[in-house]
Structure 1
Amino acid sequence: MQALSLAVLALILYIAAASWQGLALMRRVPQNPLLVRSMGALGLVFHIALIIVLTDKGQLSTTSLSNNAILLGALVVALLILVSLFKPVLNVSVALFPLAGLILLLAVGLPDTQHVAHSISPGIALHALSSALAFAVLSIAAVQAVIFGLQNQALRHHQTRGIVQALPPLTIMERLLFELIWSGLALLTLSIASGFAFLDNMFAQHLAHKTVLSLTAWGIFATLLFCHHRLGWRGMRAVRWTLGGCAVLLLAYFGSKVILEVVLNRS
């Protein structure tokens, strides 16, 4: 019951923060980044409190689908708030804050499977941390790509009112998108390299799908960045490649877990 209450409080605050930012984009309320960050950060406090409660009860394991979702959700929110202090990415919170809250609420409701806790080496810890950070950064990039794509299409059709007026200039939005992809690719590279260095066999049966899909996602993002630099790829082509790479990465992180734990009800 305590876990559910914390999840609901986090969801309410995430939705409140996202709603204000959404209304600001529609020019219904003034821009107030401090308010949005504060509500998001308070939601994150309840989010982290839930993680602590689950940890104390021995129910938190990084091998569980629901627990992976809870931990990655907290990391995405924290990273978004931090990056928003330096880059204009707070508009991404309109989608990511409610999504993090809904995933948190659903994850608490999923049937828990018992896992044996194991200590991990520094090398495995590096792999896990870099994997989580890569997913978080590229998740932000995916939403940024959607917003950039909508802005790009609106300007192509000479629609300059509404949300478009509240967004930074298109060139800044595009530059921010590629900065996020560069950062995400660097972290994904570290994740893959540390996996090959510190895991016994990256192509073992339980890891093969994740390895292949992660390498595929890496190839998509690397191709996009190379072609952007050498061939001038930009606009909607960049949006499609970004979303494609993120979709593959999402399958790599959660695809098999959904099938095993939700569909087949196996740990």
Structure 2
Amino acid sequence: MPDFLLYLLAALIYITVAALYWRRTELATPWSQLAVASALAIHGWLLYRSLFVAEGMNLGLTNALSAIFWLTALIYWIANLFHDLHRLQAFVLPPTALIVVLQYAFPESHLLTYAAEPLFRAHLAIAFAAYSLFTFAALHALLMAAAERALHRKPSLLRLPDFPPLIGMENLLFQIIIAGFSLLTLTLVSGVLFSEQLFHKAFVFNHKNIFTIISWLIFGSLLGGRWKYGWRGRTAVRWTLTGFGILLLAYLGSKFVLEVLLGRT
């Protein structure tokens, strides 16, 4: 089967499962879980072939986005086995479908010749897991915002068939943030070790590292505010989205400027 058909198939499965929920003809069944699993398998195989090439690792912008959203969709799929999270498919699956299409339509090349270094691979795996958890947290925060507006009967662009209890959603959000914050801390530590090993500098003051630290401080402050002051609801949503936005600028913003606007590899 030609590659473009595989990309199209994965995107169509993602978007179909999400659309069926929006139409309320499909909520949570083994069929939807199986469908998402098949899309993840196809997407994962295409991503593996695109990432690992003979010259090393191709970590171009669209490949990086695809890896993050593949992991985000995988986290959703696994979490949905243990929690009632099917409502999140309306938030997680459409952007994942879009990224699959972008990965095929706009392939970017950014070869990393040092990708075989064990410390770098560990750093990259931890970083991608952290980014994916915070992507999942941000999408979950949007679901919380939509649920809160629906509860107060406020007008909203997002109209879903039903919502889970807000307290449960809030508890899950902070569980995700704690996991993401732990991995982001490990990302910073492993980044320092990797930089020291490869570039003989423990820390480089560039906008990527500075924005990552700012995001780490925001999420750390949110967890501290939750513990000390009981922050919740809109406050938690706003801090989560702000921290995620800055984290997005830290990594993907720098890749977009370098690879797309400046054309560097």
TM range (shorter): 0.7 to 0.9
Indicate conservation of the 8 Å contact 1:227/1:233, yes or no.
Answer: yes
Which residue of the partner structure matches residue 98 of structure 1?
94
Q: Distance between the aligned counterparts of 1:104 and 1:59, measured in 2?
A: 23
Find the aligned partners of 1:53 and 1:126 in 2 and give their Cα distance: 20
CA distance in 2, matches of 1:59, 1:230: 50
Does the CA contact (< 8 Å) of 1:123 and 1:194 recur in 2? yes
Calculate the TM-score normalised by the size of structure 2.
0.88
Task: Give the residue type in structure 2 aligned to 1:2.
Answer: P
- Note the residue ranges of structure 1 that are not aligned, 5 or more in a row: none
Describe the shift of the 1:114–1:67 C-alpha distance in structure 2 as closer, same or farther (beyond 3 A).
Answer: same
Aligned to 1:152: 148
Aligned to 2:231: 233
Q: How many residues align?
A: 259
Deviations 1:20-53 (A, max 9, x none): 2323xxxx32522422221111111211221244
Report percent identity of matched pairs: 31
Q: In terms of mean alpha carbon deviation, does 138-147 or 98-107 score higher?
A: 98-107
Q: Say which is worse superposed, 127-136 or 47-56, in terms of deviation.
A: 47-56
- Alpha-carbon offset, residue 60 of structure 1: 7.6
- Judge conservation of contact 1:54–1:60 (CA < 8 Å) in 2: no
Partner of 1:82: 78
- Determine helix, strand or coil for the equivalent of 2:82: coil
SS at match of 1:61: strand
CA distance in 2, matches of 1:173, 1:56: 37
Flag structure 2 segments of 5+ consecutive residues without an equivalent: none
Q: Which amino acid aligns with 2:87?
A: N
Spell out the pairing of 1:125-164 with structure 2 (5 A cutoff).
Answer: 125-157=121-153
**Is residue 18–residue 36 contact of structure 1 (8 Å, CA) maintained in 2?**
no
Residue of structure 2 equivalent to 1:243: 241
Given that residues 133 and 187 in structure 1 are in contact (C-alpha distance below 8 angstroms), is that contact kept between their aligned partners in structure 2? yes
Inter-CA distance 114–147: structure 2 relative to 1 (3 Å threshold):
closer
Cα deviations by residue, 1:195-234 (Å, 9 ceiling, x for unpaired): 12232235436xx222111111111111011111111211
- Aligned-partner Cα distance in 1 for 2:58–2:52: 15
Counterpart Cα distance in 2 of 1:164 and 1:70: 26
Amino acid corresponding to residue 41 of structure 1 in structure 2:
A
Structure 1-normalised TM-score?
0.87
Q: Structure 1 residue 153: deviation in Å?
A: 2.5
Cα distance change of structure 1 residues 57 and 223 upon mapping to structure 2, 3 Å threshold = closer
